[in-house]
Chain A
Amino acid sequence: MNQAFNINIYLESMSKVLQKQEKLVNGVDVLMNVKYEEYDKTPKELVYQEDKMKLYRYISTTKPKTKIPTLVVYALMNRSYIMDIQKEKSFIRKMLDEGLDLYIIDWGYPTAEDRYITLDDYIEGYLGNAIDFIRKRHNLDKINIISKCQGGTFCTIYSALHPEKVKNLVTIASPVDFSTNDGLLFKWAKDMNVDGLVDAYGIVPGSFLNMCFVSLKPYSLLVDKYLGLIDGLDDPNFIADFLGMEKWIFDSPGQAGEAYRKYMKDLWQDNKLIKGEFKIGNEKVDLKNVTMPLLNIYGDKDNLIVPAASIPLNDAVGSKDKELVSYPVGHAGIVASSRSQKEIAPKVAKWILERSK
């Protein structure tokens, strides 16, 4: 029989097409009634504010197992509620359940007036003042820090400048060595005219950052992802999860121009931090001054902040008590996946509690 007329292939394809059509039709009802704004619902209270930066303290779900509070610091480029994306996958809730007393910084959404805020203002100003506020409130010299991505870079820099204020430092998928070309962001950043971008926009638009992120894997992120959605379109839980992540992925704040300029030029292009040439104000940042216990976590499948950018931190610091741990997850999955619930959050909490007696 002529192979071109193999009827089974066509029947199977037709059947699949009809299944997907049915899902699409049922999915319309699901989309019209889905509730997906379950992110950032862990109760917290505003305790300190400076310009657009807000410092929140989470309401504990259980009695804290240590008097030393922990400050969570996320990146400027994405919103921190990925760590509290849903009740069942909330990294924050898990940490609270494990007995940590948590604070979190919300950097806010920079507007045109913020274009002159510098990297120094973020690190020594907003971050430093938030840490000082917590220390004063709890009458402590040092606090714990859990930091992710760019937040981890900031906290590493701060810890090098003020080791006397940091008890334990956890960095998650945080880049410190930008020389690698393993990741596309690292490769493309080297050929970028940062000055032109900042001078043209003032506040580097969040939409530009979104475009950069989806450009890394254009077919997967712009087409394939939505094709895969059809299979779960009739499942309200699946759609709620998807829409929650979708909201977060495209919820990128603009970047204060002068801070972005220094961050990209000094770190991403000139790689000054790991080379010991990076300065905040007039002070050089020496990573050997990071002497507090360090837990450095990275994702093996992270295509945004590749492992090669995070791993060198452990060799660069002066800490004696330091640990490097990897998990087979991506950049978002490291704080918003079932593995982060079962393995990563408990690991972080246990590590901190052991060193917070």
Chain B
Amino acid sequence: MVSNNMFNQAMEAQKNMFELWQKATNPMADAAAEKFKELEANNPFNYFKDVMELSNKLNSNYLGDPYQVLNKMYESTDAYYSIYKMWQKLKEDTFEPSIEAMQEAYDEWKDQYSEYMNKHYIPFLPDPIKNVLEQSMSVMESYRSATSKFWEPWIKTETELTDTFFKGLLNDPSAYLEFLKLWKDNYDKSFSKFLNAPMMGINREFLEKQFDSLDKYIRFNVLLTEYLTNIHKLGQETMKKTLNDYATKFKEGIQPKTFEEFYKYWTKEINAAFDKLFFSDDFSKLVGHTLDAMTSFKSEVDKLWEEYLTFMPIAKRSEMDSLYKTVYDMKKEIKSMRKEIEDLKKQNGEKEIKEKTKGTK
């Protein structure tokens, strides 16, 4: 009877588990149903209609006004970003469970599973095996906890990361800079800590050098990307400003006479923009940090190469540097001695002359 009960309860637990997963993947079952009704009422096709209307607006009524073209260029990137936002909203509301819902479902499942195991399985096992099983369950929980802790910064900022990445890609380099900052913060809190953790064993130092150089490589790349994004942003903003200025002049009836005139104007603007950016304190610090990251990375990689080449019959750089130092010190000593000898010769020469002069007197 006990086994029957246990079997039934096992089946019940299985059923519960499946229901829980279902609930997790359809987080707000009722709410979702409501959402679908809303969507149906709104007719998803309406989204398509909005896009088509925008497209018609962009492509109709063109009067040969460059200002219209300029506006359309801006509006087209806005439109693309709007479509991305729409897709994101659809995804969040209907296709994917939220992080909180998944966590809730998992916790519920875990409690039920633990209850089932504790009531219907573990009590029937011999004591030593019971302990091992209990410890296994505890280890599993530790794995989950450690993994969650490691990925926590990324999970917490997932929406912001995706948002800023796509915004930066489609629309706005400033957003990409925010993405980089966020990415770097997350990296500092997770992967960087792992790469900089102390190693153990006979190859301890070698492993530490490898991980250290990887960490430095990543940091250098992030800074370099930030540097280049700033330049790209500057180029984009300057072009926008130049086109706006010319569009304004066009409206006032002043036409650009030649392409050269436009080019000279644009060159003047971009050089001024570069000066403004380069002379700023923030950018100056960024240049310093990027250079520092590059030289740090190079130093670490050089040390690694020396490790790789340890057993090759070739001179390593550190060995050559030591030799150069010795040669430099020896050269300096020789020059100093040479000078001393010349001074002594000069003194002796003067002494001889004096004595000769004395003698003749």
Binding site for B on A (CB under 8 A): 2-6, 9, 12-13, 16, 51, 112-117, 121, 125, 181, 184, 187-188, 190-193, 196-197, 199-202, 216-220, 224
Contacts and interface: CB of A to CB of B under 8 A. Distances in A.
B335 to A, nearest CB: 8
Given A115-B324, A191-B288, A6 B267 contact: no
Given A115-B321, A184-B279, A193 B255 contact: no
Contacts of A13: 258-259
Interface in B130-186: none
Interface of B: 63-66, 231, 250, 255-260, 267, 270-271, 274, 278-279, 284-285, 287-289, 291-292, 295-296, 298-299, 302, 317, 320-321, 324-325, 327-328, 331-332, 335
B321 A197 contact: no
A5 to B, nearest CB: 7
What are the 7 closest A-B residue pairs judged by CB atoms, nearest first?
A: A191-B288, A4-B64, A200-B295, A196-B295, A116-B328, A2-B64, A193-B292
Given A4-B65, A199-B299, A193 B250 contact: no
A187 B317 CA distance: 33
A46 to B, nearest CB: 20
Q: Which of B65, B291, B320 has the most CB of A within 10 A?
A: B291
Nearest to A197: B295
Contacts of B63: 2
22 contacts: A2-B63, A2-B64, A3-B65, A9-B256, A115-B321, A121-B332, A192-B288, A193-B292, A196-B295, A196-B296, A197-B291, A197-B295, A200-B296, A200-B298, A201-B298, A202-B321, A217-B271, A217-B274, A218-B231, A218-B274, A219-B267, A219-B274
A219 B257 CA distance: 24
B242 to A, nearest CB: 13
A184 B63 CA distance: 46
Nearest to A190: B284
Contact of B259 (A16, A114, A196, A220): A16
Contacts of A121: 332
Contacts, number: 89
A224 B291 CA distance: 26
A338 B361 CA distance: 64
Nearest to B300: A200
A297 to B, nearest CB: 25
Given A3-B255, A116-B324, A188 B66 contact: no
Q: Which of A51, A191, A220 has the most CB of B within 10 A?
A: A191
B288 A219 contact: no
B296 A219 contact: no
Given A3-B250, A9-B258, A219 B298 contact: no
A224 B260 CA distance: 12
A4 B270 contact: no
A194 to B, nearest CB: 10
Contacts of B325: 116
Nearest to A12: B258
Given A184-B279, A199-B295, A219-B267, A112 B324 contact: yes
A184 B325 CA distance: 34
Contacts of B66: 4
A197 B289 CA distance: 12
Contacts of A218: 231, 274
A193 B288 contact: yes
A192 B278 CA distance: 14
Q: Which of B63, B260, B288 has the most CB of A within 10 A?
A: B288
A201 B291 CA distance: 12
A3 B64 contact: yes
A191 B65 contact: no
Given A196-B291, A200-B298, A219-B271, 11 more contacts: A4-B65, A9-B257, A9-B258, A9-B259, A187-B284, A199-B299, A200-B299, A201-B295, A218-B231, A218-B274, A220-B271
Contacts of B327: 113
A130 B285 CA distance: 40
